[in-house]
Structure 1
């Protein structure tokens, strides 16, 4: 597909102007509401090896369909919301993927988890109508990479009806924001590419389409001027390198170059410099060598590593006499919700009988 064809999705009517059109996220939620994962397990137990069911399904959908998707769905006997097994080789990244950076350590950890527990949550894919039998990833690029790392050959997927363009981008972007996995560095690279490829004619147009302030776009585009190797040093620490800190580092890089910038990033991490301290360095009020250290953080008294089926998923730290800090990652949605429920029960006040 050519870039001009990708751009067709950006010309879709705004989601909020008509009740007949749902937002991409609403449509996905509607699809998730009718997904029956147990059906996949039953199909596997019955020995079905085909990616699609053999019988003609009921003509069920989650809302208005595009003509292309309806034709594809009927040709492949697919029920909207159905979870199917697709060959990993048929899955390819979307040109409008909101993520650009994937940490190798994170992919490796997820690969170990998937190898032990299997895939718990289906990805969402969009048919490539011009190349039958192939699909663009709409949501789940990290899982696809981890499954390949784990030497798997197939992936559980739900096929969704979205154009490759603004709707598919906004869907992935909204989901990543909800998971706290979308970073300013992803935005910087992708938004810069959108403008370079003339999918949008100006920062203002891009901001209007994404529902963001134009200043947010401007900051991201300033960060986009950084070399990717410099960005990589910050991607792994989103808690330390948010948009404000990254913006100051971009300014420093313009004046001092990559080597000095990498040294500054290391000092920010080792000395826990604040954004204001870095801004002073950028303005010349302090040097990177002489910047005062922030008072050291409180040291935990005890740390307990938490494992799930032999795989480390986080830790529990205690501070002083009255503080606990629990950090977990890589949990399935079901395990996360179960854990939250148990914690809520533990923290409920004990009722006393009179």
Structure 2
């Protein structure tokens, strides 16, 4: 399998097992030809304020352009753009696509990426589609999170590859497939966007949507059920994707139908505080247990206190206490230097008499 040209260093993973990721891998190979030639080393041309390029001489025209759309070809020749070329565009010229597969963007995640971009610079170009009706502006096809983080970091320009793709369901599938490969697509994004697709008649039924995306109809049905939740409830779960997958969110949705928003928010807090399993929440939904009297997992000790640990305002883990003599610290996303520094400080505390 040839490596993807969509972003430097990006590789599809052949060992994924879920139906969504297998579908994404197949479709990624099919759409890989959209970027038709790799950018040359150091070939970042155009300025943020003037993204117009020099015309490409006829004898240097790419040969693999037979399938170009007429609009893209006219734009490319007018701008002197070569397929796959990385250019700089003004951030103010970039706008979200109405077919963006992502809906939720965590402020903490954007802030963390902004710090990284400020220090390391943008390593991967985003992918954009020209808005032919509004020359000089571009829709984001892939890279909405990077665009938000660059703005957060007070940058004015973004590195981008301009691709030939119509804004619509096809551009949605491109962004969706790439997000699935990165594990960044959530059931809550799917819920909101798929519900809108059905409401706007892009698809006549959930079955048609499932067939178009290559998914089981049950996967779409669960997402559309979750879409009935009010956005504030979904926001509470989006922040903890490791705790709220599709099955847990589905049970929360069932509870909301019966009990309303306030009770559901209390249930979400209880799920986090007591580390409830999906089965335990299903028991609550069915009335076999109450949110206040949830049976504890056999052999599992419940923590007495939990403290969220933040670094530069971004959550990186938690510290839990159990009984009179046990502490459990879990941290993630640290640099090696920060990790080693924390370890040294813990050793110094333990060495004190």
TM-score with structure 2 length normalisation? 0.75
**How far does residue 55 in structure 1 lie from its aligned partner after superposition?**
4.7
**Partner deviation per Cα, 1:288-337 (whole Å, 9 max, x = no partner):** 00002331489xxxxxx9x9xx999979xxxxxxxxx995489xxxxxxx
Q: Name the structure 2 match of 1:4.
A: none
Residues 139 and 172, structure 1, Cα contact 8 Å, conserved in 2: yes
Aligned-partner Cα distance in 2 for 1:259–1:62: 58
Match for residue 88 of structure 1 among 65, 86, 91: 91
Select the residue among 262, 267, 271 that pairs with 2:270.
Answer: 267
Contact 2:34 2:164 in 1 (8 A): no
Shift of 1:67: 1.1
> Aligned to 2:35, what secondary structure does the other structure show?
helix
In structure 2, distance between residues paired with 1:148 and 1:49: 16
For residue 187 of structure 1, what is the aligned residue in structure 2?
190
Cα gap change, 1:62/1:292 in structure 2, threshold over 3 Å: closer, same or farther? farther
- Whether the aligned pair in 1 keeps the contact of 2:108 and 2:315 (CA below 8 Å) is no
Aligned pairs, number: 292
- 1:309-348 alignment runs, 5 A limit: 327-328=332-333
Aligned match for 1:197, one of 195, 200, 207: 200
Say whether residues 1:60 and 2:78 are aligned partners: no
- How do 1:128-143 and structure 2 match up within 5 A? 128-143=131-146
Q: Is the 8 A contact 1:313 1:328 kept in 2?
A: no
Q: C-alpha deviations, 1:17-63, integer Å up to 9, x for none?
A: xxxxx9565434662861235212xx58xx99742432526322665
- CA separation of 1:83 and 1:92: change in aligned 2, threshold 3 A: same
Task: Say if 2:279 is the partner of 1:276.
Answer: yes
Structure 2 match to 1:36: 40
Question: Aligned-residue CA RMSD in angstroms?
Answer: 3.2
Gap regions ≥5 residues in structure 2: 1-25, 304-309, 318-329, 336-353
Q: Which residue of 2 aligns with 1:256?
A: 259
TM-aligned CA distance change 1:228 to 1:200, over 3 Å: same
C-alpha deviation, 1:202, in angstroms: 0.8
| 2: CA distance, partners of 1:213 / 1:271 | 32
Instruction: Name the CA distance, whole Å, in 1 between partners of 2:202 and 2:106.
Output: 28
Structure 1 residue ranges without an equivalent (≥5): 1-21, 299-304, 316-324, 331-354
| Aligned-partner Cα distance in 1 for 2:197–2:106 | 23
The answer to whether the 8 Å contact 1:61/1:80 transfers is no
Q: 1:312 to 1:93 in 2, by over 3 A?
A: closer
| 1:106-154 superposed Cα distances (whole Å, 9 cap, x missing partner) | 0011111111111111000001111111110000000000111111111
CA distance in 1, matches of 2:302, 2:128: 44
> Aligned in 2, Cα 1:312/1:245: closer, same or farther, shift over 3 Å?
closer
Structure 2 contact 48–157 (Cα < 8 Å) conserved: no
SS of alignment partner, residue 34 of structure 1: coil
Shift of 1:251: 0.3
C-alpha distance in 1 between matches for 2:190 and 2:245: 12
Which of 104, 107, 118 does residue 104 from structure 1 map onto? Answer: 107
The CA distance in 1 between the partners of 2:170 and 2:281, in whole Å, is 37
Per the alignment, do residues 124 and 287 of structure 1 end up closer, same or farther by CA in structure 2, a change over 3 Å counting? same
